[in-house]
Structure 1
Amino acid sequence: MADGAVPGGTSVFDVEVPGVANLDPALLEALRQGAAAAANDGVVFVVESGWRSPAYQEHLLRQAVFEYGSEQEAARWVATSETSAHVAGNAVDIGPADAAAWLSEHGSGHGLCQIYGNEPWHYELRPEAVDRGCPRMYADPAHDPRMQR
C-alpha cells in the first residue's frame, strides 16, 4: 500500500490509504463532491488506483510490457514513472463500471474528465470543464503529448 497499491473497496474518503491521501488536494475534493452526488443516484465510487510511487509505476509498466509483448503496445495502457499522472497524484482510476459511466455523464460538472478513449476508468481534474465541458479525449496514452517526454 505504501507504493500506491489500493485495497479492494477503497473509497475516495479513505484517507489512510496512500493511493488516496497522496492525490492532488483539488482532485480529491472534486472526487469527493462527485462521489456525494453519485451516491444520491445510488452509485458508489471505488478507487481502483490513485497516486502511485515511481517504483510501483515502473512495476506496472514492466507487467504491461510482458502482457502486451512490447513497450510500444504497453504505452497504450501504462505510462512511464516520469510521465504518469498517477505518480504526480493527478489521476485516479474509478470503478466499478456504473461509477465510471456516471462520471462519464456527470463528471464535467465537478471538473472530472475521462482523458483516454480506451480507459473509461481513468479521470483527471480539468477545472475548466465545469463551464466548458471536458476536452476531447486522446485515443490512448500513446497519443497524449504529455507522454512524449
Structure 2
Amino acid sequence: MRTQIGLLLALMLAVAAVATLGATGQVTFVNDPITGKPLALVEGIPGPEKGPPCQLDQRYVDEQPEGLRDDVAAAWQRLRDKAAAANVKLCVQDGKRSVGQQEREFADAVRRFGTRELAAKYVLPPEKSMHVKGIAVDIQPIASAVWVERNGREVGWCRRYANEQWHFEYDPGYVTAGCPALLPSATGS
C-alpha cells in the first residue's frame, strides 16, 4: 500500500512539473515542423537559447538556426554559403524562438525599459515576433551584419529595423522586389 501511494504521489508530482514547464514555455508539446503543416506548429517549436561563442567576437554566441521554416533554413544556408565565398563569417546571435522564449525576452525588456511601449521598440511580444514565426535571425558581429545588409537581398534576406542593425528577415519576394524601407523600430515608430 505504501509503495502504491508513493508511486501515485511521484506520478502526480511529475505531471505537475511537466504542466508547469509547459505553461511557462520551457517545454513544448509539438512535433518537428513538417512541410505543409499549419504555421501554428512551426511557431510552437523552440529554437536554441544558447550556442557556442562566436569565433569573431566572444560577447556573442553562434547558435544553430534550428526550427526555422524549411524555406527559411534553405535560404539561410544560401546566405551562409554566399558569405563564406566572400570570406565573411556569420554568427547567429538569435534565431528561432518559442512563444515562451519570446515572452521571457519581452518581459526582460519591459523590466529594463520600464514600459511595454518602450520595450516593444526592441523586443516584440510573441504574437508579433518574426523570430517566433521562424523567419528572422539576429546576426553578429555588426561587421557581419553590415555585409548581410549589403548582400543578403540577393538570397531574400533584408534588415528591417533602423534601430536593430543585426535583425534580418527572410522573404523570397525581396530577391526581385528589393528590400522594403527600414522601419524606425519593431513597433514602426
The normalised TM-score by structure 1 is 0.84
- 2:50 maps to 1:6: yes
Specify the SS of the correspondent of 1:60: helix
Identity, in percent, stands at 32
Amino acid at match of 2:100: A
SS in 1 for 2:158: strand
For 2:82 and 2:141, the matched residues in 1 are separated by 16
Unmatched runs of 5 consecutive residues or more in structure 2? 1-25, 28-45, 55-60
**Number of corresponding residues:** 138
1:17 maps to none
State the distance in 2 between where 1:66 and 1:81 align.
Answer: 16
In structure 1, the residue matched to 2:31 is: none
CA distance in 2, matches of 1:6, 1:51: 11
* Corresponding residue for residue 119 of structure 1: 164
Indicate which of 113, 116, 134 corresponds to 1:89.
134
1:27–1:124 Cα contact (<8 Å) kept? no
Q: Are 1:75 and 2:120 matched, yes or no?
A: yes
Query: Per-residue CA shift, 1:74-101, capped at 9, x if unaligned?
Result: 0100111111111111111111112101
Q: Which residue of 1 aligns with 2:85?
A: 40
Q: Name which of 144, 148, 160 aligns with 1:103.
A: 148
- The residue identity in structure 2 corresponding to 1:56 is Q
Runs of 4+ in 1 over 2 A off after TM superposition: 1-4, 8-12
In structure 2, give the amino acid aligned to 1:38.
A
Inter-partner Cα distance in structure 1 for 2:175 and 2:128: 25
CA contact (8 A) 1:112 1:123 kept: yes
Q: 2:188 matched to 1:134?
A: no
Match of 1:147 in 2: none
**Residues 1:22 and 2:80 aligned together:** no
Q: Does 1:59 align with 2:79?
A: no
- Whether 1:50 aligns to 2:106 is no
Q: Which has the larger radius of gyration?
A: 2
Structure 1 alignment gaps of length 5 or more: 15-19, 145-149
More helix by share: 2
